[in-house]
Amino acid sequence: MSPDPSPLAPLDEDWERALCLVAHPDDMEFGAAAAVARWTGQGKSVVYCMVTSGEAGIDGLDPETCREVREAEQVESARIVGVDVVDFLREPDGILEYGVALRRRLAAVVRAHRPEIVITGNFRDTWGGRNLNQADHIAVGRAVLDAVRDAGNRWVFHEQVAEGAEPWGGVRAVWAFGSPQATHAVDTTDSFDAGVASLEAHAAYIEGLGWENWDPREFLEGMARSAGSRLGTRFAAPFEVLPMGWGD
């Protein structure tokens, strides 16, 4: 018998604005879209920013065509969960590098949207066990953590401030979905269907994966059920919580 999985604590929902900063179209839908649907349903503002357009993600489609297809799918996917703003930074898919250049771009996005919560994907080396994470996810997640701090310091990437951006030090936490080190979760029982529809909106991408008999609902249900059993709800979305203030 395997040991009881550790319980997950309920996420803080006392906030108004979240920014989701992820590497690829579809990243949100594989782990967090149902949570987003819950929050927009509560009247919170959630915006998406994709660092790449996932243009290297479909083997049979050249990147120029693929970019258009995937951006359109992402915009529709966001709309389904109540997100009206989707930014695309159009950095190169598959070969993102963690570093100052990426931090600079992400800090500008944080300064522009002034969120209280920043959501990103798993940036740990694995998904748990031996399934390796993907390089873009690791680069983006690490850069997000730094960019959130950079955004609050007027002397870091000062050219943005000189051009009129205000520093923003109001991010209270970064939440990473899909992390093997999840500590918290949110009940997604009532918003689960919206999350499924949001993933299904990536039809060309899912088709391009060529996974035989792969069912988005079944896939999401497996993850949501196991997190739900740790939170004490039917379905849940798990997050690793990284506090960005002092004294949390």
Cβ closest to Zn ion, residue 9 vs residue 72: 72
If DSSP states are collapsed to H, E and C, what string results for 104-119? HHHHHHHHHHCCCEEE
The smaller minimum CB distance to Zn ion, of residues 27 and 240, is found at 27
Helix (H) or strand (E) holding 48: strand 45-50
Map the footprint of Zn ion across residues 21-60, applying CB under 5 A.
23-24, 27
129 CB-side CA count, 13 A: 2
- Contact status, residue 21 vs residue 109, Cβ threshold 8 Å: yes
Q: Write the DSSP symbol of residue 5.
A: P
Using the rule CB under 5 A, is 111 a contact of Zn ion?
Answer: no
**Which value, in Å, is the radius of gyration of the alpha carbons in the chain?**
17
Least distance in angstroms from the C-beta of 23 to Zn ion:
5
In one-letter notation, the amino acid at residue 234 is R
Total binding residues toward Zn ion, as defined by CB under 5 A: 3
Is residue 202 at the binding interface for Zn ion, with CB under 5 A as the rule? no
**Residue whose CB is less far from Zn ion, 187 or 240:** 240
Whichever of 27 and 200 has its CB closer to Zn ion, that residue is 27
Pick 54 or 228: Cβ nearer Zn ion: 54
Instruction: Provide the minimum distance between the beta carbon of 24 and Zn ion in the complex, in angstroms, as a whole number.
Output: 4
Q: Which amino acid type is present at position 33?
A: A
70 binds Zn ion (CB under 5 A): no
CA–CA dist 107, 35 (Å, integer) = 24
When CB distances to Zn ion are compared, the closest residue is 24
Chain contacts with Zn ion (rule: CB under 5 A): 23-24, 27
